[in-house]
Every structure is written in structure tokens, then in C-alpha cells.
Structure 1
Amino acid sequence: MITRDAWGIPHVTGATVLEVAREQGRATAQDRAWQLEVERRRTEGTCAELFGPSALEWDVLARRALLVDVARRAYAALAPESRDFVDAYVDGINDVLERAWHRWTPLAVFAVQHLLFSRFPSKLWQHHVGTVLGADAPEALALLRSEGLPGGSNAVAVAGSLTAGGLPIVAGDPHRVIEAPGCYAQVRLTCTDPDDPFDVAGLTFVGVPGVQHFGHAGAVAWGVTNAVADDEDVYVEELVRHRGAVIARGAPGSGRGWEPVARRVEVVRVRTGADAYDAVPLEVLVTERGPVVVGGPGDAATFSLRNPSYVLGNLGFDTLLPLLRSRSAADVASAFGHWVGPVDNLLVADAGGAVEHRVVGRVPVRSAGDGRWTGWVEDLPRRTGEVLVTANDRATEEFARIGDDFAPPHRARRLAEVVAELAASGPLTPETLADALADDRQVAGESLLDLAAGLLDLSAPASALRDRLLAWDRRMTTSSVEASLFAAVRAAVVESFAAAPALAGVDATPHGELYAPWFDLRGRLRLALPALLRATKPFGVDPLQAVADALEEVAAVPGAGAWGSAHLAVPLTPHQQFGLAAPAGEGAPLIAVAGDDDCVLATRALGGAGACVHGPVARFVWDLAGASRWVVPLGASGDPASPHHHDQQAAWAAGGTIPLEDS
């Protein structure tokens, strides 16, 4: 049975777990039919057949990365009960859709959501920097060292001793590209089987059964952020054609010489007109290390990708049913024992008082000699506490066991500071923790403003601008003109570094537009700006002079508007994600949003000061005392004509939430 609350959010009830799964599939297809069609095409690499040449890059990557192959292997390896659960969900989808899903399609959809939400694009960028800068690359990469993209997710868990309800609260806000329809769907799943009862509210990837990363199961609740673990390797390959086959040079030190490469040719159908299509042949190659994702025989740069899901043939779906049945933090931790990737920071709390942070997933152990994978890190980081915060950062020194390249610490520090301030003023509530997630204080700009404070030889307009920024409250609110001025000054400082001769050639995208966000030099510089401004003439640029020049430049341009006049959330439709104009009526209204790259409310603007395409794609506050709240950027429905297409947008943009209601 499917009922809906006042926001159109489905509440699925079934007499058995398989009935729940089937009804969830039906509800998803009713709400997101068009999105499910797009997701299916993304998994199979057939987007260009619908969207044309601009989608070809994605189709090539999806096929080269073996998304379908891995999904099929992972489906075949599922425990029987998990396989039945997935099958029932697919049956529900196929009850509604005209074009049938395969049994393995939900697993492939999950893989799609994480293919580029990973380390490998940044490793391609690091190789690019090494190629361009040569001997200077290590110093450059050290200065630019940070997570793959600006902005990021937050999560906090607090003990019942600090809350108004006397029980723990888990809250968070995953950050991704803001899409229309959104990548997450809100759902409540209830099984009335007396031998297998559960009642779980949570967020699910559209096209995936159950709830995965964020859930509230009565006496226990959980949420995650990406742990930014080093769980993938990208290999430089040397491929040649030999006697009708393709061979690869063996890994250095392996002593294996030339090795055979698995090869097949697929045909990608590309729409070129109303009823016209091109057939583009695609060579899919797999070396001993992994599938070739960039380049091929004779190309200047060829790379293969190795990740745990490919190696294990496992996408972690045996986690899903145990999560629904969890009653305690220990149950949730046990369920995530099946998790593979992405490697996540799991925050979990239960009504018994447990509040825990665990890293979950598979991180490879590499041999010291040739880097071969020899097993999996067993002793993953774990901690407990009254207040636990994670924001893709190096939460403890134990994180050295899983990687060495985490998010800067300022978001986590600021969120912990805000929660501490709120707790000092009274018991924490779901509303106050939601407010903490919407904190819009610019916390990485101190280095720029500190340098500005020491400047002496400024013109009168630049001096006035400097004084205005120093008096600013550092809030990136939609009504703040100072926020716009700060962003403009920061952009001008970044431009000084981007124009440095020492970085000539770095600002390029050698592997296609699909990877452009990871190769955006200005985005990298903006994220690393605090470190650059503390360094001594990084890349030959004098930081003091760069700040002075930026103040003069911005002061010479009159009439700055409020931050919200340009910082508008732009939910990208599938057409827009493939570089096309959205069909009339398909998109969502644009709306001003607060925040910035360097805020807890990490809303990333194009160029640091324009439209916002990356930010919180959900916000949740799981109160084990019963007053939980949540919100998504648009609404429950993917149909632009539905009253629930974007009825949550105003609350989301204001940093708010809506109550988790009984239907």
C-alpha cells in the first residue's frame, strides 16, 4: 500500500518485506518515471541515443568503466534474500514503466552515482599537473592539496544529555550537484509482518531499494559523509596493437613483460536528428589492473581504473536489508560490515545512548614495493563522544590509515563550534541542529582579510572597500552586499595566481569536458587560497600584492549587488547536465541561497561568485525522541506539473526543514 503525506512523500506499507520492496518500486516509478529512464540509460551508456552527441562522453565512460558488467557480477553474488529484495523492487518499477528494468539495474544505478563521486578524476588531474609542470609538480600539488572539489557534506551526532528530548540526534546534509529531479527521494517503509517488522524513514537514491546512507529506524538513526579514502588507483598504461590483438606493458617491477588485454567492440548509438542516428564503435579494454577509462593504443595518455567494487564484484547491497531491520547502533554497524564503497564516515546513535563514528567500506592495502593490492584495511577509524562531527575531514590521526588527502578542517571546526555554542545556550533541538547545518559564516576568508588589514598604500576607494570588508560580519547571506564584494575580491586574487607563468598549461582539460570540474584550476586555487596566502610567493606570486591589486580592481567597479542576486541555486535537469537547454517547463525556479564554498552551508558557485550548482541535496535531522525533520531541494515528484515538484524548495533555500510526518 502506498499513502502520501502532505508533501507527497510516499509511505510504503507491506505485509512482507518483499511486498514493501515491490510497493517502493511502484511508488518510485509513479513519482520519477522520466528520471528512472535517464538513470537506466546512464547505467547502460545509451544517453547519446536520446540526448545526442553531447552525451557521448558519458556513454563512453560508462561502458569503459564496465558499470553493467560489475552490476551483473554483484547481483549474481548477492545473498538470496537480498536478491529477492532487489527483484521485488524491480518488479514494482516494471509494473509502472513501459520500458523494463533488468534485475541488476538498481545496482548499476548505485554505481553510476559514485563513478565520478570518487578519487579517480582527481588522480587524473594530479597526473596532468605532473605532466605539465614536471619537476615542479610536487611543490605545486602540495600547495593545492585538498579534496577533489570545493564544498562538501556535513554530519553531526549528539548525545541525549544535550538534547531537549533526552535522546540522541543525528543530522546531516549530503552535498552534490543539485539536480532536477533530485538524486535523493524521501521515503518511509513499514513492514507489518509480525516476524519481520520495521518502520524506517530515510533518503534513497532514486532507482535503489531501501534506504542507504541516511535513515531513522525508530530506536536507531544514521547518516554518512564521504570519508575521502584512497580506495582507488589509476594506472598509466602503455597499450599497443599486436597481431590483431591489444597488449599492455606489465606493471613496473612485475617482470611480466607484455600482457594480454581483454577487448570487445561495442556500438554507441548517437542521435543526430529527429529520426537520424550515427553508430559509433567503441573499443572496451581491460588490462590486468582494471578497465581502461581514458585513452587506448597509440594515445599519448592511457589510464586504467581499479576500485574495490570492480575487484570484488560487490556493490555492498547485502547491507540494505539488515539496515531496515536495525534496532541499535551495533545492528547498523553490523549491516555496514557488508559495505564496499564509497568509503564513508558513518555517524550512528541509538536510544540506548550509543553515539559512534565509524569509517565503513573497503580500503585496499598496497604492497610497499609495487603498490599491488594485497588485502583490505581491517582496523578502520572509529570513535565515540558526546558530540561527533564529520565534514570529509581528517577527523583523527587514525585517518592516515585510509588516505592522505582530506577536506580542509574549517567546515568541521565551524560546525563543532556552532553546536557547542547552541548547546551552551540550552538543550539542542531538531530545529537548532538544522540551523547549525545552514551556518553561512565564511570561515576560510580570514587569511585574505588578515593580509588586507596590513596593506598601507591603497587608493581611497580600495581602502574604503578594505575597511568595509574588515567590518563585515563574515556572513554569506543572500542580502549581504559585503558577501558579494568579498567573493569578487577573492575571485580577483585567484585570477592573479591562475595567470602565474609557473602554472602555464595547467588550466586545461585534456580528457574531455566530462572531467572539467576536476581540472578547473581556479576552483583548485580558490579552495587552497588560505594556504597560498600564508606561503612565501607561491608560484611566484606575491600574496600581498595580489590582495592589493584585487581590492583596487573591485573598488573600481561600482554598484555591487547583494549576494543573492547572483548566488542562485540552479537545479540541473538531465538535458542541462548534458550541455543542452532544458525543455520548456522541465526545470525548477531559480532561488537565492546563502552560503559559499567555505561555509558549513557549502553552496558552490560557478567561478566562486555566480550561479550555484553544487550544495546540500538533502538535509535531515533524525531525533530519536520523535521530532525528526528533513528536506530536499525541490520535492517528492519529478513531474513539473505536480504540486509536489518543488514545494520544499523555499524551506530548503532558507536553510530550513519540514517535519517528518505520518501519512
Structure 2
Amino acid sequence: MINENVMINQSELASFIPETSAPVKLLGIESNVEIYRDEYGIPHIKAQTIEDAFFGQGFTTAQDRLWHMTYDKFRASGRLAELLGSTAVEQDSEMRRFRLEASAKADYHILSEESRLMFDSYAKGVNSFLESTQTFPIEYKLLNIQPESWNPWDGLMILKVRHIFMGTFEAKSWRARLINRLGVKTTSSLLPGYQPGHLLILPPGAKYEGPVIDALSELEYGALLIDWLKDTDMGSNNWVIDGTKTLSGKPLLAGDPHRALETPNVYYQNHVACKEFDVIGVSFPGVPGFPHFGHNSKVAWAVTHAGADYQDLYLEQFNKTDRNKYKFENTWETAEVYQELIKVKDASDVKIEIIVTRHGPIIGGNPSNGYGIALKYNQTAEPNKSGEVLLTMLSSTNTKELDQSMNHWVDPANNFVFADVEGNTGYLMRGKIPIRTIANAWLPVPGWTGEHEWQKYVEFDEMPRLHNPKNGYIITANNKIISDDYPHYLALDNAPEFRARRITSRINALGKVTVEDMTQIQADQISIPALFYLKHLANALPIDDPSKEAHALLMSWDGNMKKDSVAATIYSAFRIHLDRMIIRPLLGSLANEALGGTGRGGAGHAGRLRAHLLKLISEDDLSVLPKGETWLSTMSKALSESLISLKKLMGEDMNTWHWGTLHKTAPQHPLSSFFPDYVLHLNPPSVSMGGDGDTPQAAAYPMSQPYSVTNLSVLRYVFDLSNWNESKWVVPLGSSGNPASPHYTDQLPIWADNKLIPMIYDWNQISKEAESHQQLIPDAV
């Protein structure tokens, strides 16, 4: 049972912090493992062997992020109801259907011996921590549970759950619903695609020349296949600059991944060294290595999301007299059927049935009625060797080796940017992209015809890549990767160029770039869409006195979304009202879902429509406006309505409407709603932010929750390849996931002020300045 009667005062919190200084004798290691923690509690782990190094990484991660690891493991395996009760049953049912645990086990068993040993050693480190202490985070006390042992494949399962919803299946389901509600012609007009003139990633500085996406023909074909679905429900920046443009003469690599602000933060700062490698960066708690961001003594690497399409939905035709049979070509094949039991805290267990076809698990529809929707996802379609990349990449000595180490990487598809100490820089779109018909890109496709099967993956040597560009830099910000001359289909949807354009202009305006310059670019709060709207609002006549006052403020504004800006607040409210005025009638009965939801389906589509309005306004295209209205008249109305809403929120005095007063983070621990008496212990403080979803300093908010920041920089970093000790980083909370730790939120004020902390790499400095030092000593038993 949940421990409802537990009462913990502030002075007792220290009893939930594990020991990080006293030496510990442990089985499972060959030599001493040294663990130094810097002033921010970030662990620096030094071992003699690879096995001991990953043992140490598992041990320290469990010290700092045990609850975080447990939560992600239970989420991925569909077991949260064991912890949280009936409220988690629906989520568990969905996760069980994805079969991530079975997929992770299958992956583990095909890995090389060396790679399995990495996962084994990491798991041994976690379990050794569990066996060596009775001091566990407060969450276990609140839930009245004990930690369970860690399996070697649990990390692979966490990698999958961290990325399955970053794919495209929700967008395809959404397009199907649009067609069935609005029709093919209307839907095709609402899918604008990437705009000509916007920046591409490759080659750097190039602009997309078209064509403008033509959805109509593909949707007309797909619409014939999805009529029966009518009743079925279903970002980041990085850049690398070579030595020709830096003060040091060596490359600088910087960026900031954008995700939801979780509590604890998604990334775990740590440093692991042995004879074979010496790597500092961030990990996913529970996963060995440094898959997304880090550097060793020779090379640095970083990613952004590529937005590629590697998930398909298949319509399956089931035999109504035997629902375990489904049609493929001219035969009835037998589906795999699994009976699963979801254990529920303080309630009866729930039985579910999982049906899997050759295309994947059924995640929608009803096979008993003859149809179902199967998800095919490259990460679970067959056992894969992504886990081997986690080891091989760590010992790369140059950019070419690092590039080639990505051969087995499957998911997520990333813009992988890298540099080495010899001055080389490069880009690779890493991941496995299936080759199939273009119809698969748009909508669910029939699974019974055999026409839409995956043929193979794009060959690794054919993936988009570039080494040592002549212009001296590579910039990625989730924008379109390459022109349509590229022979393989990659994606339908990409982020608009706004962040990429702003970063490019900042870099081009600099002389010899420094680490501080890179930090300032990360903090840039100039909004390109805001500047666009200011230009057009200049000709929009205010329709009332408050609008006149607001209009004057906007006309003297420079588009900087600073926390103390009143104009930024007015612009944001104006933009929300304008977008709602246009999008709501366009989407009809689906508008509430698109404007009030989250995710990559309806809400993602609404975001692309918001960006598309800029093109319609610039071309004076009135097709989306009510008859008799112009863009200027519509903008005037939107401004007036936005001021009415702001007065209700912030009072009558417009001069007090500072952007940071509204625009704040709201981090929430997964257990705080279950234990309201512990909200102050569990939830980190809220902080005001500048920027928005269009600025390099990411601080996006959904239209369903205006102004509440939900998507932001979960890490900022600058790797200096001329001197690793000059590299810097920061996360929005802290290195520890333990609410009782002084390092739970100690980086938050630094992050909120757009500052970075030292990323210490030199072992002499690390040992000299360490806040604590702990030895893991082999037990002689």
C-alpha cells in the first residue's frame, strides 16, 4: 500500500541521502574504483578496466538516480500501476502492447560478448549498490516499497521508451482522422510541408528550393483505405564551428537538446575513465555509456532530433470467425497472442490480450470486428545491435572513426554532429531508415496487400553526411536535412528554420568565436516570427484605446523575448489569439484536440499550421479567413482580444505585464500529486524564463497551457577542443535525482540565468577540488 501516514520533516531528509565518501568493499570488481564528486555533485569515475568502469557508472547512477531508474523501468515495462494504482492502468496497457521489454531482451542476446559485458557490468554496479546500503530515496518510503534488482537489458528498454513517442506514428493516425472528418481536399490544404527559402542542414547555408509539398494525390489514394477508421481512436539545437572561425584555432561544438522538463531531469552528468577511454558527458539513468552528448580525449559529439520517419501504421484485416488469423496477400496468417496481467496497487489485477502480426503489435482497432492497426517501429521490428554503439563510440580517436562507429545505430534518428582535436568536423544523420512506398509516409497503409512492406534500410554509406564543410560550420535545429534530390525518403515534417536562421546569423556576425560567444548564442531570445508580425502589425489599425497603447509598445520593440519585456507578453498573447482564430474553424470538430493537447499528432500539426500562417500572411493569401476579412483586420481583432485576456490574468496596468511573470517553468515530480503534503520536498522551484518556442533559447509552451513552459533546454553545453577544461555545461535541475540531496536543484539558478558551469576533465584538478572521494574496493572473499 501507499504509505499515506508517513510524515517526514526537513531535518529527517538527510537520512535519505546515500553515503558517498566512505570506502565500500564489493564483489564484482578487479581493482579499486575511484569516485570523485565535484562541487555540483557530478561523479568522476576512474577504473582500471572497462568492466570496472561500467560497474562504477552503474553504482554511482544508482546512488544519484535510483528512483529515476525505477520509474523509467516500470514505465517501459508497463508496470507503473504496481506503484501508482488504477490511474496508471491505461498507460501500462499501452506500454505492454509495445512489448519493449521483450524487444530489449532480444537485442541483448544478439550483442557481441564485449557489449553484453558492458551491460552486465553496469547492472552489477547497480545491484551492488542495492546490496551495500539500506539508504534509499524518499520515494521508496512514500510508496512503501523496496528497490528491485537491475537486469542487464533494462537499459536497452529505457532507451526504447525514451524515444518511441519521438517517431511519426501519431502524426499518421492524426492525418487519417483529418481526412475522415474534413475530407481529402481540405486536409491536403492543411499540410503545408517545408517552405521554400528556408535553411537546409546540408549543405550548410543552403536554402530549400522546393517543391512545395503536394499532398492531394497521396491522400486521395490513402483515403480509400481508411474509411473504416472513422470510429477508431487511436527539438533541439546544435552546431559545430571549425578552427578557421574560432579564437583558439580548434573547433567548438555547442548546443542544447529540447525536451519536456522532467523531475528528475532526463540527463545525468557523469565522467567515466579507464585505460581504454576517458569520457565525460550525459547519460540516460539506467543506460551505460554516453549515447547523445560527450567527449573523450580526442573527439566530441552531440545530437538533435532528425524528425525522420521510421514508424509505420498498417491496417490489418482479421478473420471475423477466428480473430487470431489475419490476411497477408492470399493467405491467412496466425498472429502471436499474449495474455498479460497488470498488477494494480490497492485494486484488482487487470488482464489484457496483446496481438502481434508480422508488422508489429496491434495498438488500435478491434480484431474481433475484423480490423486492427499495427505499429511497425525500427527499434522493435527485429532484434538490433544499437547497444554495441554505446561501447564502440567511446574509444573513437577521430571524426571518421566516430562516424563509422554509428553503423549499428537504429533509433532515434539523429543529426549527429562531431569534431576532433585535429580540427576536423562532421555531420551524420544516424539511424536506420526503412525503404518502402511513399504511401507509408502519409497514412496507415493496408497490411494485407504486400505492397507496403519494408524492403530494407537505407545503406549506412548512403546516409546524409558531411565532413569538414568549406564554410566552416554545421548548424542543426530540427530543420529539413537535405534537398529532395536525395534519393531516399526521410521525412514529411520538419521544424521551420527560425532557430537555425537566428543561430546562423549570429555566427556569421562574429569574428573569431569563443566559448563565451557560444554561450551567448544559446541564450539568444530574438524571435524571427515576432519580427515578422511586428512588420505587418505596423499597418494594422488599433480598434480601441488599449490596442493603441499596446500597439505603441510593440512598434518600439526589437523582438527580444526578455523576461522583463512587456511587449513580449503582448506579442505572445496576440499570437495565441490569432492562431486560435484561424486554426479553430479550419480543423472543425478536431480543433479542441489539436489546440488543447500535446504530442506529435494533433498538437504537432497545429504547431506547423502556426508557422505556415507566416507564409499565408506574406503572400496575402486570404483563403483561410472568413469572407470579407483581411489579415490586417484579423490581426487588429486578435490584438484587442489578447489584451482582454491579459487584463484578466495580470491586471489593468499594462506596464506590469512582464513576460517572465507569466512565462515560467512548472516542474512536477511524478509522485507530488499523490502526496500533496510533500510537494515542497518533491517539486523543484518554478523559475521565470525569456524566449519561446521559436528562439534559440528554447522555452516553448503548448496552446493548451499558454505561457507555462513545458519544452526547454534540458542541457546546455560547449565543448572546447583546444582545451577540454574550458568546456562548460549546465542542466536545469541538478546532478542528483534525490529530493533530499543538495544537488537536486543546485544548477537551476545558474541555468535560469543562462550561465554554464565548468566541465572539469583534468584528473589532477578533479581530485584536488573534489567535494567528496569514495573508493569501491574489491572484496577478497
Q: Same fold (TM over 0.5)?
A: yes
The aligned runs of 1:627-642 (5 Å cut-off) are 627-642=726-741
In 2, Cα distance between equivalents of 1:433 and 1:116: 30
Q: Which letter maps to 2:463?
A: L
Query: Which residue pairs with 2:308 in the alignment?
Result: 229
Deviation at 1:636, TM superposition (A): 0.6
Q: Given the alignment of the two structures, is residue 440 of structure 1 paired with residue 518 of structure 2, yes or no?
A: no
Task: Call closer, same or farther: CA 1:301–1:615 in 2, change over 3 Å.
Answer: farther
- Rounded to whole Å, the distance in 2 between the matches of 1:368 and 1:111 is 26
Instruction: Kindly indicate whether the alpha-carbon contact (under 8 Å) linking 1:4 and 1:11 is maintained by their aligned counterparts in 2.
Output: yes
CA distance in 2, matches of 1:526, 1:81: 49
Q: Does structure 2 retain, via aligned residues, the 8 Å contact 1:261–1:285?
A: yes
SS in 2 for 1:504: helix
Alignment of 1:123 with 2:202, yes or no, is no
Would the aligned equivalents of 2:320 and 2:369 in 1 still touch at CA under 8 Å? Answer: no
CA drift at 1:569:
1.4
CA drift at 1:298: 4.8
> CA-to-partner distance for each residue in 1:151-181, whole Å, 9 max, x for gaps?
x200000011222222111111111111111
Is the 8 Å Cα contact of residues 508 and 519 (structure 1) preserved in structure 2?
A: no
Query: Partners in 2 of 1:459 and 1:341 — Cα distance?
Result: 53
Shift of 1:406: 1.2
Equivalent residues in 2 for 1:224-623, closer than 5 Å: 224-239=303-318, 241-243=320-322, 245-250=323-328, 255-256=329-330, 258-271=332-345, 276-298=346-368, 302-314=372-384, 316-367=386-437, 370-378=451-459, 379-383=462-466, 384-385=468-469, 386-397=472-483, 401=488, 402-421=490-509, 423-424=510-511, 427-456=512-541, 458-500=543-585, 502-507=586-591, 509=593, 518-519=602-603, 523=607, 525-534=609-618, 536-541=621-626, 542=629, 543-556=631-644, 557=647, 558-560=652-654, 561-575=657-671, 583-607=679-703, 609-623=706-720
Superposition pairs for residues 165-176 of structure 1, below 5 Å?
Answer: 165-176=248-259
CA distance in 1: counterparts of 2:569 and 2:430, whole angstroms:
39
CA contact (8 A) 2:170 2:600 kept: no
> Within 2, Cα distance between the matches of 1:91 and 1:583?
33
How far has the Cα of 1:640 moved from its partner? Answer: 1.5
Separation of aligned partners in 1, 2:666 and 2:412 = 26
Q: Equivalent residue for 1:50?
A: 83
Q: Answer yes or no: is the 8 Å Cα contact 1:240–1:246 preserved in 2.
A: yes
Deviates more, 1:210-219 or 1:602-611: 602-611
Q: Deviations 1:32-72 (Å, cap 9, x if unpaired)?
A: 11111101101210012212233223212211011011101
Q: What is the match of residue 206 of structure 1?
A: 285
1:171 counterpart SS class: strand
Classify 1:315/1:277 alpha carbon distance in 2 versus 1 (closer, same or farther; 3 Å): farther
Q: Unaligned regions of 5+ residues in structure 2, if any?
A: 1-33, 131-146, 196-234, 440-450, 767-781
For residue 248 of structure 1, report the CA deviation from its aligned partner: 2.9
Residue 493 of structure 1 contacts residue 550 of structure 1 at CA under 8 Å; is this kept in 2?
Answer: yes
- Corresponding position of 1:159: 242
Q: Deviations over 1:437-489 (max 9, x none)?
A: 22111112344333322224633432332232122111111111111110110
Q: Which amino acid aligns with 1:604?
A: A
Report how far residue 622 of structure 1 moved.
0.8
Q: For residue 149 of structure 1, what is the aligned residue in structure 2?
A: none
Three-state SS of the structure 2 residue aligned to 1:499 is helix
Amino acid at match of 2:760: E
Whether contact under 8 Å (2:81, 2:343) holds in the other structure is: yes
Closer/same/farther in 2, CA of residues 450 and 249 from structure 1, 3 Å limit: farther
CA separation of 1:64/1:580 partners in 2, compared to 1, >3 Å: closer, same or farther? farther
Moved more, 555-564 or 97-106: 555-564
Kindly indicate whether residue 106 of structure 2 is the aligned counterpart of residue 76 of structure 1: no
Identity of aligned residues (%): 31
Aligned pair in 2 of structure 1 residues 465, 249: CA closer, same or farther (>3 Å)? farther
C-alpha separation in 2, matches of 1:615 and 1:393: 17
Distance 1:347 1:515, change over 3 A: closer
1:447–1:57 CA distance, 2 compared to 1 (3 A): farther
- Once residues 217 and 88 of structure 1 are traced to their aligned partners in structure 2, the CA distance between those partners, rounded to angstroms, is 20
Deviations 1:188-246 (A, max 9, x none): 1110x3xx3x2111111111001011111122111011111112112233445534x43
How far 1:308 moved relative to its partner?
A: 1.5
Aligned to 1:624: 721
Relative distance call for 1:537 and 1:267 in structure 2 (3 A) is farther
Return the letter of the residue paired with 2:127.
Answer: N
The CA deviation at 1:514 is 8.2
* Aligned residue pair count: 640
Listed one character per residue, the Cα deviations across residues 282-303 of structure 1 (whole Å, up to 9, x for unaligned) are 1111122111123332579842
TM-score by length of 1: 0.91
With 285-294 and 210-219 compared, the bigger mean Cα shift is at 285-294
Paired letter, 2:455: T
- Tell me which amino acid in the other structure corresponds to 1:387: Y
Cα separation, 2, equivalents of 1:407 and 1:136: 24
Partner SS state of residue 277, structure 1: coil
Q: For the residues of structure 1 that align with 2:81 and 2:675, how far apart are their CA atoms?
A: 12
The answer for the alignment partner of 2:4 in structure 1 is none
Q: CA deviation at 1:387?
A: 1.0
SS at match of 1:348: strand
Structure 2 counterpart SS, 1:94: helix
For residues 738 and 713 of structure 2, the distance between their equivalents in structure 1, rounded to whole angstroms, comes to: 21
Mapped contact 1:178–1:613 kept (Cα < 8 A): yes
| Cα distance in structure 2, aligned partners of 1:476 and 1:495 | 21
User: In structure 1, what is the Cα distance between the partners aligned to 2:174 and 2:597?
Assistant: 13
Contact 2:242 2:423 in 1 (8 A): yes
Quick one: distance in 1 between partners of 2:47 and 2:56? 7
CA contact (8 A) 1:632 1:652 kept: yes
> What is the TM-score with the length of structure 2 in the denominator?
0.78
Report deviation, 1:106: 0.5
Q: 1:525, CA displacement in angstroms?
A: 4.0
Q: Is the 8 A contact 2:193 2:492 kept in 1?
A: no
Q: Which residue type is aligned with residue 372 of structure 1?
A: E
Greater C-alpha Rg: 2
**Pair 14,538 (structure 1): closer, same or farther in 2 beyond 3 Å:** farther
For the aligned residues, what is the CA RMSD? 2.6
Residue aligning to 2:269: 186
Equivalence for 2:53: 20
- How far apart, CA to CA, are the structure 1 residues paired with 2:193 and 2:540? 25
Report the CA distance between 1:134 and its aligned residue: 1.6
Between the aligned partners of 2:385 and 2:85, the Cα distance in structure 1 is: 30
Q: Distance in 2 between matches of 1:457 and 1:471?
A: 15
Q: CA deviation at 1:631?
A: 0.7
Q: Contact (CA 8 Å) 1:54, 1:578: kept in 2 or not?
A: no
Partners of 1:565 and 1:412 lie apart in 2 by: 28
The letter of the residue matching 1:208 is V
Of 295, 298, 311, the residue aligned with 1:219 is 298
Q: Is the 8 A contact 1:143 1:531 kept in 2?
A: no
Moved over 6 A (4+): 576-582
Asked if 2 retains the 8 angstrom alpha-carbon contact of 1:143 and 1:532, the reply is no
